[in-house]
């Protein structure tokens, strides 16, 4: 990275590089100022030689073009892809906030937050899948959470552009071309570890691993060595998320478990299915109504009955004051209202409410 370590303070194309704000296996990220549009951007500079192969560079351009079509609030927007003096770079949306992995250093999130961020993750993935883009390095480090709790999917550097089956041109990934691995092992699906082509359900597995970590504060598999970790992903089921966090609802635990199924056919088949499952009851369990709610409902019903009886009495009273309108109230006697020429007696039936909450009444 010596070639890119000194870019701070330099000008790359029409971007004035300000400072380094991050680094990863696929490059260094800088804060830069777009002098043409007068805005700050994130400038990701790829290591020298990463795109030296012309076929790989063409593919990366295709992927950049595909990502540029993604216009979704849960996906970081890509503005530009270019090369200058042998330096290849991507200009993208500069996002405030912090990566999800930093947020998780303080422990698991509340169920409400897990569901909210999980739904946003699923929505962003659905938008990418609709454009045939598969993110192959989905992990907390590539997910940003803004100050207003909006999740943004970042780092599509390892993304794969899927072609329709009718398209004879098959797109290969950079890592496949280079003979390496694509992705981060703790979040890779079993089929990826077997060397099979990823599809949207591979992202569902990765999303399940992220959900597990958000809900428990730890990864599904804790083995430290890569060989042991890969074997566990391929052969073992992770402990239930509820085992690590007893506060977790059975509903959310079930959603996470289904996302982490070994066989793709047993997972949610689309990101939209995952989003719907996460919506559920928003973590609320269906319970028998409490005693307070029962009495509150009873009180409201009593008020309605009181008003209704009052209206009936008023109507019937008018009918008994010598009118010849022929109303039912004037012609029929009622057990609850007796009308004479001088007095009107009124009675109200009071209903007894039963405790249906299933809980004993407090003394």
Taking alpha carbons only, the member of 57, 42, 40, 92 closest to residue 71 is 92
Residue 344 pairs with which residues in a beta bridge?
A: 339
Cβ count near 276 (within 10 Å): 14
Cβ 59 vs Cβ 174: under 8 Å: yes
Compute the distance between CA of residue 342 and CA of residue 321 in angstroms, rounded to an integer: 9
Question: Which one of the listed residues 34, 88, 137, 155 is annotated catalytic?
Answer: 137
- 87 phi, psi to nearest 5 deg: -100, 115
137 is catalytic: yes
How does 123-157 read in b/e, with b if 16+ C-beta sit within 10 Å?
A: bbbbbbbeeebbbbbbbbbbbbbeeeeebbbbbbb
- 118 phi, psi to nearest 5 deg: -65, -40
Cβ count near 96 (within 10 Å): 10
Catalytic positions, written as ranges: 137
């Amino acid at each position: 990275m010596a070639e890119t370590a000194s870019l701070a303070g330099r000008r790359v194309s029409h971007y004035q590089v300000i400072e380094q704000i991050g680094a990863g296996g696929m490059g260094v990220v800088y804060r830069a100022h777009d002098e043409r549009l007068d805005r700050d951007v994130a400038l990701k500079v790829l290591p020298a030689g990463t795109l030296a192969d012309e076929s790989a560079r063409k593919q990366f351009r295709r992927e950049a073009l595909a990502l540029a079509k993604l216009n979704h609030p849960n996906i970081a927007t890509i503005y530009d892809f270019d090369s200058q003096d042998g330096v290849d770079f991507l200009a993208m949306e500069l996002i405030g906030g912090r990566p999800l992995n930093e947020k998780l250093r303080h422990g698991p999130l509340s169920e409400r937050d897990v569901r909210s961020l999980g739904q946003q993750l699923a929505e962003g993935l659905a938008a990418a899948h609709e454009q045939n883009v598969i993110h192959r390095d989905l992990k907390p480090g590539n997910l940003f959470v803004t100050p207003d709790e909006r999740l943004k999917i970042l780092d599509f550097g390892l993304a794969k552009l899927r072609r329709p089956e009718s398209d004879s041109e098959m797109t290969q990934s950079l890592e496949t071309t280079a003979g390496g691995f694509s992705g981060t092992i703790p979040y890779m699906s079993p089929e990826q570890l077997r060397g099979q082509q990823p599809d949207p359900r591979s992202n569902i597995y990765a999303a399940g691993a992220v959900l597990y970590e958000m809900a428990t504060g730890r990864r599904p598999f804790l083995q430290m060595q890569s060989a042991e970790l890969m074997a566990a992903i391929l052969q073992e089921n992770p402990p239930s998320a509820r085992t690590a966090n007893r506060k977790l609802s059975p509903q959310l635990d079930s959603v996470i478990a289904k996302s982490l199924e070994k066989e793709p056919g047993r997972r949610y088949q689309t990101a939209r299915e995952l989003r719907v499952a996460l919506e559920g009851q928003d973590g609320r369990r269906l319970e028998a109504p409490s005693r307070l709610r029962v009495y509150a409902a009873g009180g409201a019903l009593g008020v309605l009955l009181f008003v209704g009886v009052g209206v009936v009495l008023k109507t019937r009273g008018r009918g008994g004051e010598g009118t010849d309108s022929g109303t039912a109230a004037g012609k029929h006697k009622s057990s609850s209202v007796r009308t004479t020429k001088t007095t009107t007696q009124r009675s109200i039936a009071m209903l007894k409410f039963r405790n249906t909450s299933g809980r004993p009444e407090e003394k």
